[in-house]
Structure 1
Amino acid sequence: MYQIENTIDIDKSFILKEDEATYHSRCSGELLHSRERYRLIDLFCGAGGMSLGFSEVFGQPFQSVWANDYNQFCGDTYNENFGPHCVVGDIVEILDQGKIEIPKADVVIGGPPCQGFSLLNKNRENDPRKELWRPYLEVVERSGASIFIMENVPQLLGTFEHGEIVGAARSLGFRVWQEKLIAADYGVPQTRTRAFIIGCKFADPAVLFPPRKTHFNPNGNGKPLTLPFNKVEYLSTPPKWKTVRDAIADLPAPEGTEIRNVPPPLDLHFGRTPTELSRKRYRAIPREGMNRFDLQRIAPELTPKCWIRKKSGGTDLFGRLWWDKPSVTIRTEFFKPEKGRYLHPKQHRPITHREAARFQSFPDSFKFLGSKIEVAKQIGNAVPPLLAARVADVVRLLLDQKYGKWTSSQEQNEVKLCRG
């Protein structure tokens, strides 16, 4: 059984107390034999959730050599955790000016800003952010990468732009595949769904992608709804989806209203100062799973008139999380319960930054820099590192195959373990 070498001094009590064992059970003893680390570029990197999943922290043989984001706070956070090689600025200008040489890399990862495709964007028809996949592929070409991973909202797949991305990648010599992945299927305590497009120059990525699920969605009897698992890998049944209880039950009540200079996890475990009206609304819907419709039924006098007029949709608005289900998708304003199901299952308050970071599967010791608003954006926009780690399994196997680092029997075994 191998040992994960931490480049960040993480507390594995939450992230890896079960997933490490699950991951070990899927992997052969030779999985992380001595070898060179693969070079990685992360574009539109944000805080670096995707890079973290591809790093040694999650047992992966990748090393980030260059990164880019437009936001200075994201760049500061990335450089604090991965080393000073994130260049802050507009990627289009960086490429046009030609003052910065793009280093050579084995793989390029990243998520061009997704608001252009998001259903939340009412002006998405003419949104220029839909075009940022073009400089992304230019970096892929300049770096000489033989694999790329592009992450985005699920609404991207099937669009005209999706077709353009595939066509452009094929013109560069890539074979392309795509899937929608649910983070909870890979041990993240959150039902976040994201689209992943994978391109590979030397093999058909559809043979290995999507990565094999590690956790299952239980029905009322606790049985798997689907069985994309090899029964030999598990003594009984594979583990269930991680839940809100798994992620945050050990945390005390939050203190203060600002980021605190105390050790994690309490540094980001702070609250807000809601109005008395907001407090009354929280108390009016005390049971987990309740939402704005319950508030209107129980206390119409406390319900905003705009919610009363809106008869349908938005069932997650002003909703409480469930203890024994995964969190809903964490967005950038998770601290505002009027934006989604972001009320604590029991306490009369919204979730904290630390709780949101755990729902995203960030280890407690990952360092976020910036104001509390900027940190919230970094958390909400991130690719869950644990999901990224399972995508990295596929990339690692493809590159190992390319460089002849497996015997034939090892390769066959790894293919079975990585893909159902």
Structure 2
Amino acid sequence: MALRVIDLFCGAGGLSLGLVDRRFSGGFETVLAIDNDSAAVATHAANFRGKSVCANIDQWLVENPVPKADVVVGGPPCQGFSLLNKKRDGDQRRALWEPYLEIADRSGASVFLMENVAELYRSPELADIRERALKYGFQTDIAILNTADYGAPQTRKRTIVLGWRNVDWAPAFPPLPSHAAPAVMSNLPKWRTVRDVIEDLPPPTRDTIEGKAPLDLHFGRNPTPKSMDRYRAVPEGGNRFDLQRNAPHLTPGCWIRKTSGGTDLFGRLWWDRPSVTIRTEFYKPEKGRYLHPIQDRPITHREAARLMGFPDDFQFVGTKVEIARQIGNAVPPPFAGALGHMVRNLFLPLAQTA
């Protein structure tokens, strides 16, 4: 019998996919998914059974009964914890773990999985989260995990908070890695690379539908000649400093004046390494290391989705910007699948004693 899942702050459904789809884990069914991003909710509804709701979680909790579930998963919005947010104090998004835990309690769930940026591990809120979870009867364990260690072709470090109750045994947490870094002596397969997942794609076609993304998501842009010259100045693995060395006349003055930091800005990916963390504006090279390893262009939406671990048959709904946001905010499904295997094994003793 499938384990019932509530997916909060569900986004496009990277966590749901990793749990439900047998290519990653399997043995789960999503009974409820909530997010306040209407395009992301439409994507979730297009791919999963169960109820997908567009709402603010705290307001939804006031107005609706919580369905029964075995597992509650989700990542309260991470911007409040992220180092990219320079005004973290007082950010109300930091408190959204409270309705998350209340739903975990009221659903009767035996397990919750909370996913967030690595900075949560060092945040003062972590002690508050654990204290509130204990009030609801959940023991907790926490780890910072690298998604590349679990089959995602991307080095994305995330804090995972695992909570469990009504069981007398400790979970095998964190789950054992399925892949290893190239420098690590191990019998495990090496990290999956950019080459592994996007080399087979042909050069993208140009998008001709204003605002909309073609279904295959593999569409190009129409860069200016100046942008093309900038792209050509950056070698594989290079960044804005290579642009400054090779084409100083094309380098923005603010970059020239900033002599340190930002080594991924205007960077080009390596073929034989995992991708860097895919964020919501991966189509803008000035935002990070998002140039294709050998083609003079940013990566496409399809390439970004593959670098997150989404299969090509996953249906995204929305505009180009909305879909990019869904991809960048997602939990890589292979990583979610590894967590799913761990959670499913935690329930095996319960099934055997039922």
Q: Same fold (TM over 0.5)?
A: yes
Q: In the aligned structure 2, how far is the partner of 1:303 from the partner of 1:122?
A: 26
Cross-structure match for 1:20: none
Of 100, 112, 115, which aligns to 1:136?
100
Q: Does 1:79 align with 2:28?
A: no
Aligned to 1:5: none
How do 1:15-414 residues align onto structure 2 when only pairs under 5 Å count? Answer: 36-57=1-22, 58-83=24-49, 85-96=51-62, 98=63, 100-203=64-167, 207-219=171-183, 225=184, 227=186, 237-257=187-207, 258=209, 267-285=216-234, 287-404=235-352
Give the TM-score normalised by structure 1. Answer: 0.81
Secondary structure at 1:176's aligned position in 2? strand
Could you report, residue by residue, the CA deviation over 1:79-131 in whole angstroms, capped at 9, with x for unpaired residues?
A: 000035111111111112x2x22110000000000000000011111100000
Q: 1:387 to 1:295 in 2, by over 3 A?
A: same
| Structure 1: segments with no counterpart, 5+ residues | 1-35, 220-224, 228-236, 407-420
Q: Which amino acid is 1:292 matched to?
A: R
Distance 2:273 2:266 in 1: 17
Distance in structure 2 (CA, Å) of the matches to 1:81 and 1:205: 34
2: CA distance, partners of 1:204 / 1:329: 37
Q: Return the offset for 1:403.
A: 2.3
Q: CA deviation at 1:206?
A: 5.5
Residues 175, 204 of structure 1: 8 Å contact kept: no
- Secondary structure at 1:177's aligned position in 2? strand
For these two proteins, the number of residue pairs brought into alignment is 350
Letter of the aligned partner of 1:283 in structure 2? R
Aligned mates of 2:347, 2:118 — CA distance in 1: 26
Residues 1:360 and 1:405: Cα distance change in structure 2 (over 3 Å): farther
TM-score normalised by length of structure 2? 0.96
Identity of aligned residues (%): 55
CA deviation profile, 1:287-344 (whole Å, cap 9, x unmatched): 2101100111111111000000111100000011000000000000000000000000
Render the CA deviation track for 1:159-200: whole Å, top value 9, x for unaligned. 210100000001111110011111111111100111100000
Q: 1:59 to 1:389 in 2, by over 3 A?
A: closer
RMSD: 1.5
- Structure 2: how far apart are the matches of 1:405 and 1:276? 68
Residues 239 and 267 of structure 2 are in contact (CA less than 8 Å); yes or no, is this contact kept in structure 1? yes
1:260 Cα offset (Å)? 5.7
- Partners of 2:25 and 2:340 within 8 A in 1: no
1:207-254 per-residue CA deviation (whole Å, 9 max, x = no partner) reads: 4011110111012xxxxx154xxxxxxxxx321100000010000000
> What CA distance in whole angstroms lies between the structure 1 residues aligned with 2:149 and 2:116?
17
Provide the C-alpha distance between the structure 1 equivalents of 2:171 and 2:54, rounded to a whole number of angstroms: 36
Distance in 1 separating the partners of 2:115 and 2:167? 20
The answer as to whether partners of 2:233 and 2:247 remain within 8 angstroms in 1 is yes
CA distance in 2: counterparts of 1:45 and 1:290, whole angstroms: 35
Task: Give, as a single letter, the amino acid of the residue that structure 1 aligns with 2:239.
Answer: N
- Partner amino acid for 2:79? Q
